């Protein structure tokens, strides 16, 4: 069974992240540095995020991935607050989940 999300639902999920609480430069950095892949295993699509040459499940692993990416990214973006960095990482993960 494949869960299909309508465009309105995708927009609604991403609408909670506005320009004031996320950073576009960090989002671009995340896209380039931490790519995602999608694989079909046993007739089900899974999305993986590549961090340090290891693939991590994105589904039901969001909190762990936010914490892991925060550790890697916070040193590269010292001018951003912790909240902005974490919300930008969450936005990136939600964008990945909405591409399925």
Interacting residues of 81 by C-beta distance below 8 A, sequence separation 6+: none
pLDDT digit string, tens, across residues 29-86: 999 999 998 888 888 888 899 998 899 998 888 899 999 999 999 999 999 999 899 9
pLDDT, residue 98, reads: 80
Q: Which residues pair with 40 in a beta bridge?
A: 45
User: 3-state SS of the chain?
Assistant: CCCCCCHHHHHHHHHCCCHHHCCHHHHHHHHHHCCEEEEEECCEEEEEEEECCEEEECCCCHHHHHHHHHHHHCCCCCCCCHHHHHHHHHHHHHHHHHCC
What residue segments make up the domains of the chain, in order of their start? 18-98
Higher pLDDT, 88 or 8: 88
């Amino acid at each position: 069974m494949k869960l299909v999300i309508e465009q309105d639902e995708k927009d609604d999920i991403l609408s909670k992240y506005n320009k004031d609480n996320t950073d576009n430069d960090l989002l671009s950095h995340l896209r380039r540095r931490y790519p995602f892949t999608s694989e079909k295993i046993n007739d089900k699509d899974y999305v993986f995020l590549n961090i340090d040459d290891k693939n991590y499940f994105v589904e039901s692993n969001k909190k762990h991935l936010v914490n892991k990416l925060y550790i890697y990214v916070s040193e590269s973006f010292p001018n951003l607050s912790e909240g902005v960095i974490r919300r930008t990482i969450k936005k990136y993960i939600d964008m990945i989940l909405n591409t399925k």
